[in-house]
Amino acid sequence: MSKRGVFITLEGGEGAGKTTSRAYISEFLKQQGIQVLETREPGGTEVSEAIRHVLLNSALPAIHADTELLLMFAARNEHLQKKILPALALGQWVICDRFTDATYAYQGYGRGLDHARIAALEFWVQGNLRPNYTLLFDINVQTGMQRVRARAEQLAMSTDRFEQETLEFFERVREGYLERAKLYPKQYRVIEASQSIDEVQQQLQHVLAAILAKAVTE
């Protein structure tokens, strides 16, 4: 039997640079001889990606907050059963761009949904599974949204349904993430994401070195 893999999630508001950092983290770990699975939420499997399309599609009518929440967990269950859990069982390290902490931040703090309802769905879908580590890429909301708009203009693409939310919404999301980082200090590592890519990667090197050192002793 392989040693169970390590589950690392990447969280943060819009424009925090999680996708760029995910590639860097994966390459860093691979250089240490670790088998890595990169994935994202919502998404990660064919069915979950189809649900993602619904959730992010700004051309669709407005989605009720409860519907949004249920779709998030529907996509997550498929993702867990088909991809994340099998990879962890094989001893792979899973690097996931967003997970359930995003649901607490966006649907809980952002939309104002009852956290107890989110927790009930979390336990139903995940049981006792939680990320080993969550790297929170924290960035000022206005700076993050400036990055989002610049990226959209550069790629000549429209922003998605979440990216079109108000600054007040994203302030609540950021507040939620920082609150959860305080509640779960053993799980969270906060990365100052407003810095340059080189500076962010230096922070990641220190964090990953500590995670690797601990993994060796466990």
Q: What angle do CA 110, 114, 116 make, to 5 degrees?
A: 130
CA dihedral 28, 30, 36, 38 (to 10 degrees): 50
Q: What is the mean pLDDT of residues 119-132?
A: 98
Domain extent, residue 137, equals: 7-217
Say how far apart CA 4 and CA 90 lie, in whole Å. 7
In a domain, 2, yes or no: no
pTM, entire model = 0.94
What CATH number is attached to the domain comprising 85?
A: 3.40.50.300
What residues pair up with 137 in beta bridges, in sequence order? 12, 191
Looking up tokens 């336990």 gives 123
Say how far apart CA 101 and CA 92 lie, in whole Å. 21
In a domain, 118, yes or no: yes
In a domain, 94, yes or no: yes
On the question of pLDDT at 25 being above 90, the answer is: yes
Q: How many CB atoms lie within 10 A of CB 99?
A: 25
Number of domains in the chain: 1
In a domain, 75, yes or no: yes
Q: What is the mean pLDDT of residues 1-20?
A: 89
In a domain, 1, yes or no: no
On the question of pLDDT at 22 being above 60, the answer is: yes
Q: 3-state SS string over 121-167? A: HHHHHHCCCCCCEEEEEECCHHHHHHHHHHHHHHHCCCCCCCCCCCH
Render pLDDT for 148-197 as a digit per residue (tens, 0 to 9): 888 878 777 778 889 888 999 999 999 999 999 999 999 999 999 999 99
What residues pair up with 7 in beta bridges, in sequence order? 94
Q: What is the mean pLDDT of residues 60-88?
A: 97
Mean pLDDT of the chain: 94
DSSP secondary structure string for all residues of 35-102: -EEEEESS-SSHHHHHHHHHHH-TTSPPPPHHHHHHHHHHHHHHHIIIIIHHHHHTTPEEEEES-HHH
Helix (H) or strand (E) holding 9: strand 7-12
Q: What angle do CA 93, 31, 40 make, to 5 degrees?
A: 35
